[in-house]
Amino acid sequence: MTRYQTIASLFAFATTAIVLQTSPGLAFSSEAQQMCTGDAMRLCSSEIPNIPRIRACMVQKKAEVSPGCRAVMDREHAAATASRKREAAAQ
């Protein structure tokens, strides 16, 4: 692997890790990061480094993501929705 390829690979990994980190708007676990990194790079690399646009891209292209990534996205979306409902009910 050339030096350029190594640097590009490290940059891609670091960028994807930042994109898929936990955030209030759309939380991604380490499992999601593991399952979705390839999909994020394949489908949404043009949006890097704009994290909100990458998140929106992944949601928009959900039908094109791998089955494992889609399953994790569905689980985490359901958990986030349930959490918001609990918070709303507590108020």
Closest by CA to 39, choosing from 25, 22, 59, is 59
User: In the block, which residue shows the tokens 């030096």?
Assistant: 3
With vertex at residue 57, the alpha carbon angle to CA 54 and CA 58, rounded to the nearest 5 degrees, is: 90
For 1-91, where are the alpha helices, taking DSSP H only? 3-19, 30-44, 51-60, 67-90
Interatomic CA distance for residues 40 and 60, integer angstroms = 12
Instruction: Please tell me the predicted confidence (pLDDT) of residue 51.
Output: 78
Mind listing the pLDDT tens digit for each residue in 13-55? Answer: 555 555 444 344 444 578 888 888 899 999 999 988 887 888 8
